[in-house]
Amino acid sequence: MKKICFATNNPNKLKEIKELLGNQFEIVSLKDIGCEEELPETQDTMEGNSLQKARYVFDHYNIDCFADDSGLEVEALNGAPGVYSARYAGLQRNNEDNMALLLQNLQHETNRSAQFRTVVTLTENGKPVQFEGIIKGLILREKKGNKGFGYDPLFVPEGHKRSFAEMSAEEKNKCSHRARAIEKLTKYLLKN
């Protein structure tokens, strides 16, 4: 079974990815390969950050790796928080603070259109390949649900009536931005 590192120590993301990929690959975390340092994320695009993280792991640990960078892009805020989604309300990376700031910034907005976007970069034998996943939807005026993480309680995906945080992991994984990018990654891995 092919062993691939997913460049994260976020247990929520790791669980989500393992559920999406099933048992076709052995997915290991940064901790599993002995990577304790914080991966660099100094680029100003999701493409740049995911590439930077995947390259770092491959270069320092010599293991095929994929890394993602995801963000919430809100139309009325010109695409913000975007690449800064995790630290929108500050470097403490607090989900509650981020959601509170988002709601505050949208309080007078009638346009609630937004999209979650993920860019996954796979480095296989040092060569990078990128995959993108997008799910469009709306931002609620208040949080709903207590599952998921990040902005999930505020985001209702297109074609649904419930927020990501009101859905089971299985339901979310059928339509999420990350699921769409990982589906492309999986097809690529199975072909090669």
Catalytic residues: 69
C-alpha of 37 from chain center: 20
Residue 164: which of 189, 182, 185, 144 has the closest Cα? 144
Rounded to whole angstroms, the Cα distance separating 132 from 144 reads 27
Burial track 102-136 (b if 16+ CB lie within 10 A, e otherwise): beeebeeeeebebbbbbbbbbbbeeebbbbebebe
